[in-house]
Amino acid sequence: MKIAVIGAGLAGLTAASILSEYADVVVYEKEVEGGLASSWHTEKGYWIEKFYHHCFRGDKELLEQIKRYKLTNKLVWKVARVGFAHEDRIYPLNTPLEILKYPYLSFTDKIKLALFTYKSRRRNYKEFDEKGVVEGIREEIGESVLNEFFMPLLRSKFGENHGEVSYAWLLARVSIRSNRKYSGEELGYMRGGFQQLVEKMTEGLNIQYERASLKVGGGLIVNGRDYDAVVFTSPLSELDGTVRKAAGIAEIKYQSSVCALIGAEGKVTEDIYWTNIRDRRVFGAMIEHTNFMPVKDYGEELIYLASYTTPDGWLYNTPDEDLKKLYLKDLKKYGFNEGDLNWIEIFRAKYSGPIFEKGYLKKLTDYRTLLKNLYIAGMTSPPNYPERSMNGSIKAGKEVAEVIKKDFGFE
């Protein structure tokens, strides 16, 4: 039996490794294994994720995978400090005292925010799928919390698409985040990078580095070869329109990511890992990787400047050299000394995640499609809601493999 897996991201690699025990599996990858979780090899000789990555204690599937490859000893867990940048100043927002001292939200607003977080745990978020997030927050918590707190976060997470997002998404997200067992957001990172996991997951697989094109004739044909089953794990926009229609797959809107990664001799904040940017800047969040991992692991400070946009947005389509200047200009506003810069790289992902727009819950893709033996797994699968994550894609890869095993009577 022959199975094609399209995409060697974490979903594709997971599905391929399970299915390889039962079938002849070919993985097609048009760029590099690891997909959005892939890394860059710096001139200094270390690997670093092109886009910032960390995990959570509750990421069961990811942690199991890490354990399976005997990499658990590489995991580092820490409470990561967060901050909020207002104009040119960065305010830490971690302890109750820091939150009380934050001057741009009134005491009443802080209480409203705390109550909203508490209440979100018990709500049926699905009821709010058709409601817009901006409208929902305005009605429930008020204009000032919306403008001073949520708007910057929404812009940082969804760029110019933030107005389309559903209120259900926010409620679901707040609920899973506030339900986390460990207070103060304990995050995990793999010393030496998640590249080590990607390499282990790739071992032994038959990967063809070419763009796959799926055709449906008498059967399922990928790049001219017949397959008994196809697992599609790439962005749905990569599927031919007619195949997509025949398979009954909804149109899903994706957002793009542009991320500047900087190697430097100096840092911006003393100890904050994640800073959300309130005011309009080229980037919506600054992630100081070496305020989480020791700088000695790299021999230099590492800073990500993250932006979300649309595939046809100006940011996604601006040349690297222009973007570098824009990112550095905005970074200087927070005290970064350009003389400390070692290098700056720009990474882009055209399809970096679905926009959790109004009505999105109805669009989540099932593993089985209307086309016999064509399966879908990845960022639009149920485990990747309300957060698309490494854990969600590994879970989707596992679940689709289970469905195929059942359909073909493996075992």
Ligand X SMILES: Cc1cc2nc3c(=O)[nH]c(=O)nc-3n(C[C@H](O)[C@H](O)[C@H](O)COP(=O)(O)OP(=O)(O)OC[C@H]3O[C@@H](n4cnc5c(N)ncnc54)[C@H](O)[C@@H]3O)c2cc1C
Q: Point out which residues bind ligand X (CB under 6 A).
A: 6-12, 28-31, 35-37, 51-55, 211-212, 233-235, 238, 257, 259, 306, 349, 352, 378-379, 388-391, 393
* Least distance CB 194 / ligand X (angstroms): 9
Amino acid at 167: Y
Looking at beta carbons only, is 8 or 361 nearer to ligand X?
8
Looking at beta carbons only, is 51 or 283 nearer to ligand X?
51
Looking at beta carbons only, is 61 or 357 nearer to ligand X?
61
SS (H, E, C) the chain: CEEEEECCCHHHHHHHHHHCCCCEEEEECCCCCCHHHCEEECCCCCEEECCCCCEECCCHHHHHHHHHCCCHHHEEEEECCEEEEECCEEEECCCHHHHHHCCCCCHHHHHHHHHHHHHHCCCCHHHHCCCEHHHHHHHHCCHHHHHHHHHHHHHHHHHHHHHHEEHHHHHHHHHHHHCCCCCCCEEEEECCCCHHHHHHHHCCCCEECCCCCEEECCCEEECCEEECEEEECCCHHHCCHHHHHHHCCCCCCEEEEEEEEEEECCCCCCCCCEEEECCCCCCCEEEEHHHCCCHHHCCCEEEEEEEEECCCCHHHHCCHHHHHHHHHHHHHCCCCCHHHEEEEEEEEEEEEEECCECCHHHHCCCCECCCCCEEECCCCCHHHCCCCCHHHHHHHHHHHHHHHHHHCCCC
**Is the peptide bond preceding residue 386 cis, with omega within 30 degrees of 0?**
yes
Looking at beta carbons only, is 65 or 233 nearer to ligand X?
233
* Least distance CB 39 / ligand X (angstroms): 11
Place of tokens 């669009």: 363
* 17/327 Cα distance (integer angstroms): 40
* Least distance CB 119 / ligand X (angstroms): 26
* Least distance CB 101 / ligand X (angstroms): 28
Looking at beta carbons only, is 166 or 234 nearer to ligand X?
234
Taking phi over 0 as left and psi of -120 to 50 as alpha, with beta for the rest, 28 belongs to beta
Looking at beta carbons only, is 31 or 88 nearer to ligand X?
31
Looking at beta carbons only, is 39 or 391 nearer to ligand X?
391
Helix 10-19 to helix 195-202 angle (10° resolution) is: 30
* 173/120 Cα distance (integer angstroms): 9
* Least distance CB 156 / ligand X (angstroms): 11
* Least distance CB 257 / ligand X (angstroms): 4
* Least distance CB 158 / ligand X (angstroms): 12
C-alpha torsion angle, residues 126, 131, 137, 142 (rounded to 10): -130
* Least distance CB 234 / ligand X (angstroms): 3
Looking at beta carbons only, is 4 or 146 nearer to ligand X?
4
* Least distance CB 147 / ligand X (angstroms): 25
Looking at beta carbons only, is 137 or 201 nearer to ligand X?
201
* Least distance CB 90 / ligand X (angstroms): 20
* Least distance CB 5 / ligand X (angstroms): 9
Looking at beta carbons only, is 15 or 174 nearer to ligand X?
15
Looking at beta carbons only, is 120 or 352 nearer to ligand X?
352
